[in-house]
Chains A and B, each alone.
Chain A
Amino acid sequence: MSEKVIQKNKMVDFLNELLKAYKVFAPVKRDHIVSFDAIQSSGEMLLNYLNSRIPPKEIFFPRSEKMFEYIRDDLIEVKEVLPSEERKVLFGIRPCDAKAILLLDKVFDSPDYQDPYYLRKRKETIFVGMGCDRPQSTCFCTSLGGAPFSEEGLDLLFTNIGDRFVVKGITEEGETLLEKYEQVFERAKKSDLDDKLNVEKEAVNRIKSKIALEKIEKRLDKMFEDSFWDRIYQKCLGCAVCTYLCPTCHCFDITDETMDTSGERFRAWDSCQFALFTLQASGHNPRMSGKERVRQRIMHKFNYFVKNYGEIACVGCGRCIKNCPVNFDIRQILLELVS
């Protein structure tokens, strides 16, 4: 696949061209928080960012979303509410988050079930990745089969090499973009490609957290009743920061909002860290304390998901580590588990 170069001052032109044809989601900073949002002009996009606080999963799987409307009069009438299928560009997604979307695809687009709400938003989306030239101290993507410049799940990948980016077309869609907007790109010189390799190598070297997770699924098979969980859960507050800000967590709750004779059905993010999550109608709660809930989070990501879908449901983005109110660090848990 081809590699081109774009000068940084040409990025505005490129984005403006994209904005004419697509709805563009890009990292923006509001109230000191970086998140992905639809932009109206190229100036809104943040080029220099570490990563977003809320993962881009919310574009396809929003915190709360309407599923259908109904009227309950003499007859019950259900009105379908499906998201529109717009052509979208998700600009500036990090490779770890792109990988996370692939993991979500396994859940929402499985042979058994295809989720229309997720898929309609997901389908027509072009993923333009921004290689991660400054991995953070909390990043551990390389332990999960990812890399700061992994091309998995991306259509185009940008690599920052100083005053310009090397742009690599990865899929046909990506290539088409490179051709369609060829006026903003230049031919990549040998030195550009060398620079790119160096940036990539350097980024990989910056990742200091390394955990050998190959055997974790097997290890966890025997851990369900282990006293390990009694020890580690204690400081967990039971909030949903780790799960809501996780790019792969995908649990939701469904609720009806009825007003008079009409109503709407919604789904909204839910978290295994909440006591209510498993509360049964009888009053019994199989996950009665933080111990069971913390265990569930680890088990789901590193054991159950592997059994169901063949991969670990963690991409090593470090959001749960950075944002935990009590600095509960999943890396420490994993290190203990594999040692």
Chain B
Amino acid sequence: MSKNSELQTPNSKLQTDWEPKIVAFLCNWCSYAGADLAGISRIQYPPNVRIIRIPCSGRVHPLFIMRSLQNGADGVLVSGCHPGDCHYISGNYIARRRFAILKNLLEYVGIEPERVQFSWVSASEGEKFAKVVEDVVEQVKALGPAKRLVKRKADPH
């Protein structure tokens, strides 16, 4: 059974020095280049994201997202090419359906919807990328550390 601590609203108890960890899966062809552009253009965005480069948003298996949450990510961001721009023609379209279902499923079992987010960021949208990261970090910060689905050490006997 779930411990009561999982049900407390974390906002009130936030440690001041706590910073969320966000795992970001970025498509090699658009969003990763978008992040790169943000960097080259010296656009500031919060350093909370840990970027994992993937060939296409269609490569993102739902287990990547769930495993991230299990292993202590406070939020997950998946970002790919805009519809119509996929390097592999339709990878992001297929991914879009998957994400829609997965997002609803996670929300249905009580995981905060802001924990798992999606965006389309093209290679030329450095500013958008920075904005997306800012938004995600801000929203996850407001939620506090992730509690649900996080894998904790088992109690001793």
CB–CB B154/A84 < 8 A: no
* Contact mask for chain B residues 63-77; partner A; CB cutoff 8 A; 1 contact, 0 none: 000000001000000
CB–CB B157/A264 < 8 A: no
User: Does any Cβ of A come within 8 Å of B153's Cβ?
Assistant: yes
* Contact mask for chain A residues 141-173; partner B; CB cutoff 8 A; 1 contact, 0 none: 000000000000000000000000000000000
Instruction: Identify the closest chain A residue to B154 (Cβ).
Output: A66
* Contact mask for chain B residues 143-157; partner A; CB cutoff 8 A; 1 contact, 0 none: 000000001011011
Interface residues on A, range: under 10
CB–CB B153/A83 < 8 A: no
* Contact mask for chain A residues 239-277; partner B; CB cutoff 8 A; 1 contact, 0 none: 000000000000000000001000010100000000000
Docked Cα-Cα span, A266 to B153, in Å, equals 11
Q: Which of A12-67 contact B (CB under 8 A)?
A: 65-66
CB–CB A259/B157 < 8 A: no
CB–CB A84/B153 < 8 A: no
Within the complex, which residue of A82, A83, A264 is in contact with B154, where a contact is CB–CB below 8 Å?
Answer: A264
**Whole-angstrom distance from the CB of A288 to the nearest CB of chain B?**
26
Q: Which of B118-157 contact A (CB under 8 A)?
A: 151, 153-154, 156-157
Docked Cα-Cα span, A76 to B71, in Å, equals 22
**Whole-angstrom distance from the CB of A255 to the nearest CB of chain B?**
12
User: Does any Cβ of B come within 8 Å of A330's Cβ?
Assistant: no
CB–CB A259/B153 < 8 A: yes
Number of CB contacts from chain A to chain B under 8 A? 15
Instruction: Identify the closest chain A residue to B151 (Cβ).
Output: A259
Chain A interface helix/strand/loop/mixed: strand
With a 10 A CB-CB cut-off, give which of A65, A66, A83 has the most chain B CB atoms.
A66
Instruction: Identify the closest chain A residue to B155 (Cβ).
Output: A66
Q: Which of A59-100 contact B (CB under 8 A)?
A: 65-66, 81-84
Residues of A within 8 A of B157 (CB): 65-66, 81-84
Within the complex, which residue of A65, A82, A264 is in contact with B153, where a contact is CB–CB below 8 Å?
Answer: A264
Residues of B within 8 A of A264 (CB): 153-154
Residues of B within 8 A of A82 (CB): 157
Instruction: Identify the closest chain B residue to A263 (Cβ).
Output: B153
Residues of A within 8 A of B154 (CB): 66, 264, 266
Residues of B within 8 A of A65 (CB): 157
Q: Which of A317-338 contact B (CB under 8 A)?
A: none
Docked Cα-Cα span, A81 to B153, in Å, equals 13
Docked Cα-Cα span, A38 to B33, in Å, equals 58
Docked Cα-Cα span, A192 to B92, in Å, equals 78
* Contact mask for chain B residues 47-89; partner A; CB cutoff 8 A; 1 contact, 0 none: 0000000000000000000000001000000000000000000
Docked Cα-Cα span, A83 to B155, in Å, equals 12
* Contact mask for chain A residues 192-227; partner B; CB cutoff 8 A; 1 contact, 0 none: 000000000000000000000000000000000000
Docked Cα-Cα span, A82 to B154, in Å, equals 14
Docked Cα-Cα span, A153 to B65, in Å, equals 50
Residues of A within 8 A of B153 (CB): 259, 264
Docked Cα-Cα span, A21 to B153, in Å, equals 31
Docked Cα-Cα span, A82 to B157, in Å, equals 8
Docked Cα-Cα span, A65 to B156, in Å, equals 9
Docked Cα-Cα span, A259 to B153, in Å, equals 9
Residues of B within 8 A of A81 (CB): 156-157
**Whole-angstrom distance from the CB of B67 to the nearest CB of chain A?**
12
Instruction: Identify the closest chain B residue to A86 (Cβ).
Output: B157
**Whole-angstrom distance from the CB of A116 to the nearest CB of chain B?**
12
Residues of B within 8 A of A (CB): 71, 151, 153-154, 156-157
For the complex with contacts A66-B154, A66-B157, A266-B154, 12 further pairs of A-B residues with Cβ separation under 8 Å are: A65-B157, A66-B156, A81-B156, A81-B157, A82-B157, A83-B157, A84-B157, A259-B71, A259-B151, A259-B153, A264-B153, A264-B154
Closest 3 CB pairs of A and B: A83-B157, A66-B154, A81-B156
15 contacts between A and B (CB under 8 A): A65-B157, A66-B154, A66-B156, A66-B157, A81-B156, A81-B157, A82-B157, A83-B157, A84-B157, A259-B71, A259-B151, A259-B153, A264-B153, A264-B154, A266-B154
